[in-house]
Structure 1
């Protein structure tokens, strides 16, 4: 057995156990993590702060803080607040002993809804308490995927600083669940990749990408990266007529793929970008049924993809759909940038795109401090920065809370007078508690600029019209939704905003024999729409997944002889 590779001189991340009465028991219980983590104990909140300072002074960081909820010198939630001020990225866990678990639950569990800590668990009372350790591993896994630099990377990108395409490629690979490291060309690792590329006769342009042991390649677009990593069109041709073509791999499309393939339909999913859609960019979805500690959009999407693959779904990533033609005898031809797919039924699940701000100075800096969407991979680079998030939906709230772990300040900017109309209450509560995040209402971005990357924003007060310039090193734009369905045929009915009409929402004059299409069916026979692209949908991950599952029986009914 060989040693696990670690960057030279980098301390192992710390798991900090804090308890006056159960420290020895917790230390024994967490002994299984000692190979990969520096497991330390403290017996009070003050001692814990001293340990945190010592770890940071040595160049390390704390991944997980565990306490038993009964500290001699501080209320448990106040202690978490003090510790978080030192290490905002650490995950926080209360492991309550059996005799106090129920007694303290009523007092401490409300803190979960405010984001004061991440989990309230029963302290193990015997060996092999895998329910407890499963929760611990979930927290450490979330920390590792969103905070820590990868110890072993799947993808290496060599690029000079300030390359917008590099930022986009990194966002794509990390959303696909591939640990990614960006190397400067002057670094030892970067120089080695450049020299290997030159030895193969390649011309060095940036970014250079090396993935999964393959030769380095100079890339020019994210779509090229998708085809390179997941199969070029000639390697993934879809032969013959499939039963179901799903266009879009967000939550709705993934659910349709899982249920379609598991019910015996030959299913193909066509996705132009990364698996997961907008939901795949969410740092943490806390109100999705069945995940009490929350789950990142990337992990949810990759789990669904693996589930669909298990049932035989074929994924074609990097295939942009350009048209849909109704073919003879009830078949449809989905035309893509990589070839045509013929299907007996089509589910449209392309979701929506974030609306562009329309400010030239800002749009010119996309990838250079400006991001459309939450851009999780960019969060690590905002350490010590002043960040602005524009948008009032759940995605904006989730992005702001994630960025608050790194940035000096995070401002959520909305045109409305409050967040209450557009954001879930649990997120509003977490935002109100977080000292790093503030909300600026009745305001909009009027301009932005900087020397090579974003440095400032002009902000207009919508009540007075006054414009004030402020410092900002990062801007994340999550501006509502625009449907992505220009490729659909003219005969498919849409509402005034371009969203697809289904079922009884279809105008009566478009009904057949005075009967509306079945629920989720469009005005084109054999073509269905689910998720955010559908007019009247709830624009929530759970409802999109439900529609994706619900459409499969309708597809079966349509295909039945």
Structure 2
């Protein structure tokens, strides 16, 4: 397959940009054009040759089109490519005013100052981020870390690939009769493994037959309490590795607390499924949930934090009188901890339509499923949900799908979705919003093929052809493992601080702001009643809980 293309478009600076982008020559095919019309010709030629375009770069001074209109034309032909304006120094400030509002609408991805000399790493850092994002979400992996071998139509295969993708591990799926599939099967047979599907292979371990995503977590990151050397009581055990749990881990580890994080699924929680978070402080071009989560995990590991992936906490046994340790019971062993932070987040609610839920993994997905987006090319897709996660999923899917419909029961998105996402959705020609609607039925032969949708105003039910359905239906807490003495609200969210009823106070005063009714047990992030349900606020709570842990641990 030909190398992906970086297309540089400028009437006056094409040669300069070509020289400046020379550092990418090994991995990308650099092309130039001197007008929008010439760029269109190059795009059509590349498409005929089967080449992918990773990045458009223009200087904002095209001779035959407004720069934003040019981006719109190019985007219509190559929706997956990233788009950059690299303005020359003499025009940078003059162009900034009219150009930058287009960023808020998602018309392009970055407004940069054209390099004025060698080694402009600020410029190339931005370019590398965009190319990295394109490679992670659009291009097929050149080198894989995980190989999954399974016949087509196996729902667990999609779940495994989504998990490894969220963990930042390039994964490819092969059918058993391919050369790559046979190679993994032969390795399994040589190791004495009874072959079944899906068969999961990695470079450092013998292939295994997975029965669940948790099996894969143990294969890739498996450890036991013996590996942790936790015969001594740890200072802090964090249950859940979403943004709140990760922040608590980073700050706990950096301040010298012996810290363990237990996560039943993928690092990052719901935020880890977001294709692009644009309103997180410090990332002007946005960052994917996976990258944010993996960076935080690596940061915590640097401070000595230990992660137990694939470990589900089944029960919390509060410290008995005179005992310093709470007990966290898991299928991998028991962790003893002086303090516990509950950061398990929430799960998406189920649709409750049996015919649709029967097709999970076969065109129906709970969550955004970034890895499945590539397979929606040419499809008509429905996203059910009105929160930020649904908006981010719809915009990402629009890079691939023929059409994306955001379906909500409400009359508008403004009550539940951030304004910047609504602005991008309004501009995107492939995304439309359908209000006052709900899915009541669906079906297909081995894969989703149709949905029945009820109009909540008229009661009429219409059937439509749909190939993919993504369900992001809001929050449900997972608190069955918590002890009865830990107070929760009517919906099951954990009560903390002054939200705890007077009769449940553990002494004459209310608990501290993030403390629960069990001394030494804290709650942060989406699992906490009254939380904001945003990545930044969850991270803030995770950082804020560590001083309270110190106070609890103080003699």
TM-score band by shorter chain is over 0.9
* Consecutive unaligned residues in structure 1, runs of 5 or more: 1-9
Partner of 2:157: 166
Structure 2 residue aligned with 1:76: 67
Which digits, 9 at most, give the CA deviation of each residue in 1:38-64, with x for residues without a partner?
A: 011000111111111111111110000
Give yes or no for the alignment of 1:270 onto 2:262: yes
Which of these residues, 379, 384, 388, is aligned with residue 385 of structure 1?
A: 379
Gaps of 5+ in 2: none
Match of residue 129, structure 2, among 131, 138, 145: 138
- The whole-number CA distance in structure 2 between the counterparts of 1:349 and 1:339 is 20
Counterpart of 2:90 in structure 1 is 99
Q: Secondary structure at the match of 1:216?
A: strand
Equivalent residue for 1:529, pick from 523, 526, 544: 523
Aligned with 1:239 (options 231, 234, 243): 231
Residue from 428, 440, 444 that aligns with 1:446: 440
Provide the secondary structure at the position in 2 that maps to 1:107.
helix
Cα distance in structure 2, aligned partners of 1:323 and 1:512: 21
Q: 1:309-328 counterparts in 2 under 5 A?
A: 309-328=301-320
What is the aligned partner in structure 2 of residue 155 from structure 1? Answer: 146
SS at match of 1:204: coil
Q: Secondary structure at the match of 2:241?
A: coil
Matches within 5 A, 1:104-503: 104-233=95-224, 236-237=227-228, 238-328=230-320, 329-503=323-497
When residues 235 and 470 of structure 1 are mapped into structure 2, their CA distance, relative to the original with a 3 A threshold, is farther
Secondary structure of 2:205's aligned partner: coil
**Within 2, Cα distance between the matches of 1:284 and 1:67?**
23
SS of equivalent residue, structure 1 residue 330: coil
TM-score, structure 1 length as denominator?
A: 0.97
Note the alpha carbon deviations across 1:130-183, whole angstroms, 9 max, x for none. 000000000000000011101011111111111100000000111000001111
CA deviation vs aligned residue, 1:265-293 (integer Å, no higher than 9, x gap): 00000000000000000000000000000
Residue 493 of structure 2 contacts residue 527 of structure 2 at CA under 8 Å; is this kept in 1? yes
Cα deviation for residue 204 of structure 1 reads 2.4
Cα distance in 2 for partners of 1:46, 1:239 equals 69
CA distance in 1, matches of 2:436, 2:324: 51
Shift of 1:330: 3.4
The answer (yes or no) to whether the contact 1:284–1:398 under 8 Å persists in 2 is yes
- Residue 184 of structure 1 deviates from its aligned partner by 1.8
- Structure 1 pair 236–56 and aligned structure 2 pair: CA distance change class (3 A): farther
CA distance in structure 1 between the aligned counterparts of 2:392 and 2:384, rounded to whole angstroms: 12
- Corresponding position of 2:511: 517
Contact persistence 2:506–2:518 (CA under 8 A): no
Say if 2:253 and 2:303, in contact at 8 Å, map to a contact too. Answer: yes
Corresponding residue SS for 1:255:
helix
- Superposed CA deviations along residues 201-237 of structure 1, whole A, max 9, x for unmatched, are 3332111111134322211111011011102426634
Q: Work out whether residues 506 and 519 of structure 2, in 8 Å CA contact, stay in contact via their aligned partners in 1.
A: no
Cα offset, 1:514, TM superposition: 3.3
Give yes or no for the alignment of 1:551 onto 2:545: yes
Q: Distance in 2 between matches of 1:235 and 1:341?
A: 11
Number of aligned residue pairs: 552
| Runs of 4 or more above 4 Å deviation | none
The residue aligned with 1:7 is none
Which one of 56, 61, 68 corresponds to residue 52 of structure 2? 61
Q: TM-score, normalised by structure 2?
A: 0.98
CA RMSD of aligned residues (A): 1.0
| Separation of aligned partners in 2, 1:443 and 1:510 | 41
Check whether the contact 2:225–2:334 (CA below 8 A) recurs between aligned residues.
Answer: no
